[in-house]
Amino acid sequence: MPGTKTTLDIHITNTPTLEQVKIWWSELQHDPARFSAYTNFMQTDLDEFLDAVRQGEITLWMFLVEDGGKPRLGGGFYLHDQGVESGMPYAWLGTYVLPAYRNLVSRAWRLVRQTCSEQNLHRFFAAVRRSNRPVQLALRREKFLYLGTYTDWSYFEGKPDTVALFSQRQQDRNLAWVLAEQRSQTFRQSVSGTWPKAMQPEVIELPLASPPYHRPRPVSPREHAGRLV
């Protein structure tokens, strides 16, 4: 009927078919924003990515959409750089959703998060390039806590750049900064052992109980509104 809005059914799986993974990977690698949104260290070879999945280094969740009576690939969430701290697991979140289904990302993520919670995984972190406003907005909508910016955290398009750091939970903010520093050190060592001094982010060694050492600067209401568009 004219004016009727159809709600598409979606479901998630951590055992997608190889064909589904290939479609998702091809869409990701050919997206015009591929190299501006993801660091230089993200895999470009599907076999390398799948090896990391098989070895448990990456957990891949995909969501399928019942569109026209046929399940269609909507997108994927991948949990990487996973570990355990104080007996509790954590993971960094990466995602790629096909353009046609980006309006479903919130519903899909909530399903993934619910399933992970049932497996005692509640600690999620994300680092998003400072210029990538749409993803930052999406994380805020899902109640991720914005922690601040990390200067020259990793390489994007061949050059160091700043990221916005997020934590799913308030109580994990200190851990987020410690892990972010560890990852940044790994990136730097992967490039040349060290970065030029002018490019090095300020590093302060702190225990987990200490306050975060990269604090967001005050933001005016006008500027804050500009971040959400």
Interval 24-56: pLDDT, tens: 999 999 999 999 999 999 999 999 999 999 999
Token pair, residue 173, equals: 């903010």
pLDDT at residue 223 greater than cutoff 60: no
From first CA to last CA, the distance across the chain in angstroms is 33
Least confidently predicted of 27-36, 56-65, 84-93, 189-198: 189-198
Write down the pLDDT at residue 192: 66
Average predicted confidence (pLDDT) for the chain? 84
What is the rounded average pLDDT of the residues 81-102? 96
What is the rounded average pLDDT of the residues 141-160? 95
DSSP assignment, residue 87?
A: T
pLDDT at residue 215 greater than cutoff 60: no
The C-alpha atoms of residue 169 and residue 172 are separated, in whole angstroms, by 6
The C-alpha atoms of residue 11 and residue 66 are separated, in whole angstroms, by 8
Given pLDDT bands bounded at 50, 70 and 90, which one contains residue 206? Answer: very low
CA 100 vs. chain centroid, Å, equals: 20
Ordered structural domains, the chain, with CATH: 9-203 (3.40.630.30)
pLDDT at residue 75 greater than cutoff 70: yes
List the strands of the sheet with 9-13, edge to edge: 9-13, 59-67, 70-85, 88-97, 123-129, 159-167, 145-156
pTM for the whole structure: 0.80
What is the rounded average pLDDT of the residues 87-104? 95
State percent of the chain over pLDDT 70.
81
Q: How many separate helices (H) and strands (E) can be counted in the chain?
A: 7, 7
CB 139 within 8 A of CB 126: yes
